[in-house]
Structure 1
Amino acid sequence: MDKQDTGIVEGLAPAEDGGLNDLLEKIPVLAGLSRRVVRLPGGLTNRNYRVVAAGVDCVVRIFGNEPELPIDRDHEFHNSRAAAEAGVGAPVIDYLPEHGMLVVGHIDGVTLSEELVRRPGNPARVAESCRRLHQGPRFAGDFDMAAVQDQYLATVRTRGFRLPEGYLANMEYVHRVRAVLDATPVTTVPCNNDLLAENFIDDGEQIRIIDYEYSGNNDPCFELGNIWSECHLSLDQLEELITAYFGRPRPGKVARAQLQGLMSKYGWTLWASIQQATSSIDFDFWSWGMEKYDSAVAICSDDRRFERLLDEAALPE
């Protein structure tokens, strides 16, 4: 029997099937239509489904319950529309905050892996997409990892969640990084701020950027440093990314991106601690966070490298 004719949901437990169909009926463009639904892989906070119905091919994003990780869903909606207007994000079809859903158009393409991001030529293509996003409409809200880290750390300590060994002692390095970044302020731009490889989709012409949950106006070097961190780029690949983004070699920006990547690692480590303690998702958040933490500590513990990054990031260009 053709599942598209019956409206059966693929790859889901029967209880989820029924509850999901009830939610999908609340979306005007899908209500009353026979549809085919497939749960998409990934997603550590939300559930994502591709839904195909008559004349509609979309992704329905159902928000998770994250009281310890305050996420502004109105900002996510606004910024998703801005990213679409910039020509990088998926078109926004609907937003139903009362039901915890955002509906965007499905992008037909290849979801990138870390290996694909690192493939020769792709760092430059990623840089072009970031530049297009950053030159687009201003986002709602700002994102500053220093402030986010402070907020996450307060939550972890107040709730008694687990902290990596030496985390508080190593904040000495974080404060030094913050001092350099604060002393060399830049004009902020609309950033995704969470560019792991799976948030890039190659549609055959350009690399598109999805998922604006943590989006906000930010230092462009945070975006680039976060890509370096999340996609495990080599320093040569980071230089390629920076050169393509700025149009010429910028050693100071390479250093700044590494420092912002360091801030990213420290901040998301705490995100992982909170998720490990509160999330119902079957995922080893702690190991995921410790990989970031250990990588950050390795950079800070290399005195010569760390001091050079601070010096180079502070130099005028």
Structure 2
Amino acid sequence: MALAQVLDRIPLLSGLPRSVEELPGGMTNRNYKVTTPDGAYVVRVTASDGALLRIDKDAEHADSIAAARAGVGAPVHGYLPDAGVLVIGFLPGRTFTEADLWEPANLPRVAEVCRRLHAGPRFVRDFDMFEVQRGYLRIVQERGFRLPAKYLDFMPAAAEIRKCLAVRAEPTVPCHNDLLPGNIVDRGDRLHLIDYEYAGNNDPCFELGNLWSEADLPPGHLDELVTAYYGRRLRHKIARARLLGLMSKYGWTLWASIQDGANDTIDFDFWSWGMEKYERAAAEFTRPGLARVMEAAAGAD
């Protein structure tokens, strides 16, 4: 269906003068800024096979509403479930880059927006990267998609990390789970988060470790981020976030493999994007200090 036809189905946008601008950066959606005399909106049109990637548009819609209620997400203005289209308010502000997360002064701000989201209404479903990674692996193997060399060699280590984290199981909170820098919007007075495709109730340390991983930050930045989140330095929480950041890289590598094999609608080098994550994950799996990190995560401060 043509974009104009989609927009005509949205009561808020139908029958009004409007300008349309495609926004950059979408890896599973095409995102458009639509401006009318009444305001500016973002129309998110799905451009991937959501079933393969564990995307549930109904859950995204509900979770986006919950995030808005928590004061973290954009207001939700419309939803066309049959077309995979979500309409949210456009948040004026500056989108973060990796450089912003390398700036130590921003880490307490990021911790604060995460705490606000985590204290808000619970999301529709749960998110567990260990389960997501195994589900993605099944799809990659069943469909014959490319698998990085020696990827399966690290499965026993991933299982050991899962056992280690279970020693001190954490209660889950509503997490974004996909905190790329581009999903953080700086509105000056506070930060906001966008894009809730992978939202779900999860260990808060995954949120922090995933963010650290996505921006490829140094270990000291993770220490500062986790300390800012909890209000004091907790050695086992820092270790926990580091292990979950490793699992983030390991799991999202397969997301890239699926996109590389199945997505022909978005012009993006998914394989190279995933291999960069995999190479960093492989380096961490083979680093001598991994056993000490697991001991710290399972132990007491």
Amino acid at match of 2:48: N
Aligned residues of 1:82 and 1:136 also touching (Cα < 8 A) = yes
Counterpart pick for 2:285 among 297, 300, 309: 300
Instruction: Report whether the alignment pairs 1:31 with 2:17.
Output: no
Q: 1:50-109: CA deviations, max 9, x gaps?
A: 111011211000112314223111110111011100101001111111222100001010
Aligned length: 299
Amino acid at match of 2:37: A
> Tell me, which stretches of 5 or more residues in structure 1 are unaligned?
1-17
Counterpart pick for 1:219 among 203, 207, 213: 203
Structure 1 distance, partners of 2:169, 2:43, is 38
Instruction: Report whether the alignment pairs 1:40 with 2:23.
Output: yes
Q: 1:150-201: CA deviations, max 9, x gaps?
A: 1100011111111111111111211111111122210000000000100000
Counterpart pick for 1:179 among 163, 167, 172: 163
Matched with 1:78 is: 62
Structure 1 distance, partners of 2:285, 2:113, is 30
Q: Tell me the percent identity.
A: 54
Tell me by how many angstroms 1:133 deviates. Answer: 0.3
Instruction: Describe how 1:63-142 pairs up with structure 2 within 5 A.
Output: 63-66=46-49, 67-142=51-126
Structure 1 distance, partners of 2:78, 2:102, is 34
TM-score normalised to the size of structure 1? 0.92
> Tell me, which stretches of 5 or more residues in structure 2 are unaligned?
none
Matched with 2:42 is: 59
Matched with 1:255 is: 239
Divergent runs of 4+, >3 A: none
Structure 2 distance, partners of 1:68, 1:86, is 29
Amino acid at match of 2:39: V
Structure 2 distance, partners of 1:215, 1:174, is 22
Compare relative contact order (CA 8 Å, sep 6+) and give the higher one, 1 or 2.
2
Structure 1 distance, partners of 2:108, 2:114, is 10
Matched with 1:204 is: 188
Amino acid at match of 2:278: Y
Larger Rg: 1
Aligned residues of 1:29 and 1:56 also touching (Cα < 8 A) = no
Structure 2 distance, partners of 1:174, 1:65, is 28
- Across the aligned residues of Structure 1 and Structure 2, the Cα RMSD in angstroms comes to 1.1
